[in-house]
């Protein structure tokens, strides 16, 4: 008789590292006191694929709070959105 084998599937090291980083970043839009509400709303809808109501709420948060978390995800997945916002003149970071 063979000894009982452990069938527990343990992720390898790379999976553990990726898991910790996959959702740990935020795309943050910062207030700039330059662009109009309509411009920011339209840009969020185009670049970040937001619905109008969500883009409007985010724009108001940026205006009154100074910044807003636009999206959450991995750095790699957020980079194109950040670049799109920056290309259109908005101030965005990934934290």
pLDDT single digits (tens) 6-15: 444 434 434 4
Percent of the chain scoring above 70 in pLDDT: 77
- Among residues 30, 33, 44, the alpha carbon closest in space to that of 81 is found at 44
Domain 21-94: which CATH class?
Answer: alpha beta
Q: Extract the tokens encoding 91.
A: 């101030």
For residue 3, the 8-state DSSP code is P
Q: In what order do the strands lie in the sheet with 67-73?
A: 67-73, 25-30, 91-94
- Among residues 61, 59, 34, the alpha carbon closest in space to that of 47 is found at 59
Domain ranges within the chain, ordered by starting residue? 21-94
**pTM across the whole model:** 0.76
pLDDT single digits (tens) 18-52: 444 457 999 999 999 899 999 999 999 999 999 99
pLDDT mean over 67-89: 97
Average pLDDT, the chain: 84
């Amino acid at each position: 008789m063979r000894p009982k084998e452990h069938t527990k599937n343990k992720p390898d090291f790379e999976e553990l590292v990726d898991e910790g980083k996959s959702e740990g970043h935020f795309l943050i839009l910062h207030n700039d006191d330059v662009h109009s509400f309509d411009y920011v709303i339209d840009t969020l809808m185009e670049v970040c694929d937001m619905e109008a109501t969500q883009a409007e709420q985010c724009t108001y948060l940026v205006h009154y709070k100074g910044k807003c978390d636009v999206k959450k995800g991995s750095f790699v997945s957020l980079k194109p959105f950040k670049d799109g916002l920056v290309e259109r003149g908005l101030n965005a970071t990934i934290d």
